[in-house]
Amino acid sequence: MRVIIAEDSVLLREGLVRLLHHAGVDVAAAVGDAQVLLAAVERERPDLVIVDVRMPPTHTDEGIRAALQLRQEHPGIAIIVLSQYVEERYAVDLLTGETRGVAYLLKDRVADVDEFLDTVQAVAAGGTVLDPEVVSQLLTRQAGRDGVEQLTIREREVLGLMAEGRSNAGIAAALHLSDSAVSKHINAIFTTLDIPPASTDNRRVLAVLRHLSAGAIRKDAR
């Protein structure tokens, strides 16, 4: 696996380089600027990019805009976006459209080395991972909208774990349920949120994005 890191904090950038090198990952480049990131991707063609939301020169949204550009121009490259805080609009923008091979994590999550490396492997393999805190806040903000109020408490718990990238077996273990019970809850969620089967879409991610996207649109309208 070849990875490019884009992070303007030298300490975090070098820490990620050392962590990934120790795990046997080839870090093709480590940069501190979004424009340099785009040039490095064209040159190195990595399998995965790890990028901070806020980067120079304005430290607002340069990193996430670069990530969105890469999703359009190089859809085969997996993306892990790191953020200091939960920023709803950025998470929704990143996950709207193609959802394979993408993650949105809070920087605190990097401190759990094993969990972070698991995320790197999962996203590189085409998985979708949302930080548990991101899921929690987004679901809380959107509770009562877009059909979510019709979900049971257990179904909301299952939905949150789905958005974290958990498999049915992982959800079953976390909630102490049988695999068949988890399948029933997931099918109920799809039915309630009116998400029919489709070979081209990730229904698990759409189950979260359906109400998050609508909430972001309403927020902009205000």
Q: What is the pLDDT of residues 49-108, one digit of tens each?
A: 999 998 988 888 899 899 999 998 998 999 999 988 766 667 767 766 666 788 888 888
Provide the Cα torsion 28, 32, 34, 35; round to 10°: -80
Exposure string over 99-129, b if 16+ CB within 10 A, otherwise e: bebbbbbebebbeeeeebbebbebbbeebbb
CATH, domain range 135-221:
1.10.10.10
What residue ranges of the chain are covered by domains with CATH 1.10.10.10?
135-221
Instruction: Classify domain 2-130 by CATH architecture.
Output: 3-Layer(aba) Sandwich (3.40)
Could you tell me the pTM of the whole model? 0.67
At 218, the amino acid letter reads R
Each residue's pLDDT tens digit, 190-209:
888 777 675 444 566 666 66
